């Protein structure tokens, strides 16, 4: 696991209490951080919002108050 992926997982755990990312989340987060547009279609409650929130915190330090 590379450093960026490990940090994404750490932020997800700190922010949401998740021990691991759900299927598709890591890939979508990596694409966002690489500057690509992402359209994630996934069921309600599957963590779509986190796909945008976690990388924002890693990249810009946003959501630090959560």
- pTM higher than 0.75, yes or no? yes
Q: Mean pLDDT, to the nearest integer, of 30-45?
A: 92
Whole-number pLDDT of residue 2: 86
How far apart are the C-alpha atoms of 40 and 19, rounded to whole Å?
Answer: 21
Other Cβ atoms closer than 10 A to 24: 15
Q: Mean pLDDT, to the nearest integer, of 35-56?
A: 92
Nearest to 5 by CA among 35, 32, 27: 27
Q: Mean pLDDT, to the nearest integer, of 17-23?
A: 90
Q: Assess whether pLDDT exceeds 50 at residue 66.
A: no
Confidence grade of residue 57 (pLDDT, cut at 50, 70, 90): confident
């Amino acid at each position: 696991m590379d450093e960026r992926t490990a940090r994404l997982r750490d932020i997800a755990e700190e922010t949401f209490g998740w021990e691991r990312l759900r299927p598709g989340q890591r890939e979508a987060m990596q694409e966002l951080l690489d500057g690509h547009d992402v359209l994630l279609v996934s069921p309600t409650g599957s963590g779509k919002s986190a796909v945008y929130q976690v990388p924002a915190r890693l990249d810009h330090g946003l959501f630090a108050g959560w």
